[in-house]
Amino acid sequence: MNTYFNINYEFDRSQVHHAIAERLGQPGSDYVCVADGVIMNTANRLPEYLEVINGGLLSICDSGYVPLYIKWIHGKKFEQYCGSEIFLDIIASRKYRMIFLGTQQIILDGLQTELSKINPDVKDMTFYELPFCKVSEFDYPAIAKMIEDDGADIIWVALGAPKQEFFMSYLKPHLKHGVMIAVGAAFKFFSGIGVRRAPDWMVDHHLEFIYRIAKEPRKQLRRCFHIIRTLPVLLFKEWNSKNKQCHGALLL
């Protein structure tokens, strides 16, 4: 793993899947964070959230811009591995039993129908609508018992950030087995209902945020405002940290 902007990223896709498989072979549970620009920004403003993000198995980089920032500052080339991609990769692999935890049954029903076209095993898996409540109010022992009875290896969670990351950290001590992965909007993207992901050409040219703003202007503009407001400070701190590391290496 590599630490940039205070987040422990794993950029190597094969290592991500190896780490998940290896963790599933051990007792207990863990979680994977899908860290986009919003999560990076929020984690660097809220120490308790940063602790949650780095308290899991690893984070993948769900941002087309963070690799650009890293290249500008550190001269290293990495690629985005977004939540939609890891979601489809694991679904299509047909390696694991999975459970899907979300908030709207209509989305879950559509998701089950669409994913069954990719992986027929999905039609016999559990899609569970979580109650609408504060993250501290979930019945974590009961949810863990349901997952244990189901026998799921991969627990997909879609509650939106930062709620879903706190949810995984609170559920982790109650689970005896499994890797949770928070995929945010991926449930909507692949349900056939509501917002879909941006076209590939927009993703390739780092323009996905424009598409998301057009589809969900109030939500996405609020997020963009926080990113723009704090990004210069984050970039400066990362650049300064890199220079200090280089200076320390020269002294050695």
CA dist., res. 211 & res. 196, Å (int): 10
**Residue 136 covered by a domain:** yes
CA dist., res. 247 & res. 209, Å (int): 36
User: pLDDT value at position 134?
Assistant: 96
Q: How far is CA 156 from CA 57, 97, 128, in A?
A: 15, 11, 10
**Residue 221 covered by a domain:** no
Answer yes or no: are the C-beta atoms of 82 and 34 closer than 8 Å: yes
> At residue 133, does pLDDT exceed 90?
yes
**Residue 153 covered by a domain:** yes
**Residue 203 covered by a domain:** no
Closest to 214 (Cα-Cα) out of 190, 186, 195: 195
DSSP 124-147: GSEEEE--SS-GGGS-HHHHHHHH
16-65 confidence digits (pLDDT tens): 999 999 999 999 999 999 999 889 999 999 999 999 999 999 999 999 88
- Number of separate domains in the chain: 1
Q: E strands of the chain, at which residues?
A: 2-4, 7-9, 28-35, 58-61, 98-102, 126-129, 154-157, 177-182
Q: How far is CA 51 from CA 12, 131, 157, 169, in A?
A: 22, 25, 19, 10
**Residue 32 covered by a domain:** yes
Answer yes or no: are the C-beta atoms of 59 and 7 closer than 8 Å: yes
User: pLDDT value at position 249?
Assistant: 54
Q: E strands of 15-71, at which residues?
A: 28-35, 58-61
> At residue 213, does pLDDT exceed 70?
no
In one letter, which amino acid is 236? F
8-state DSSP, 199: P
| Residue whose structure tokens are 């999905």 | 122
Q: Report the CATH number at residue 155.
A: 3.40.50
CA dist., res. 140 & res. 142, Å (int): 5
**Residue 160 covered by a domain:** yes
Sheet with 2-4: strands ordered across: 2-4, 7-9, 58-61, 28-35, 177-182, 154-157, 98-102, 126-129
**Residue 209 covered by a domain:** no
160-209 confidence digits (pLDDT tens): 999 999 999 999 999 999 999 999 889 988 998 866 655 666 656 555 55
CA dist., res. 81 & res. 203, Å (int): 12
The more confident residue out of 210 and 237 is: 237
pLDDT band at 228, cuts 50/70/90?
A: confident
Structural domain boundaries, residue 130: 2-196
**Residue 30 covered by a domain:** yes
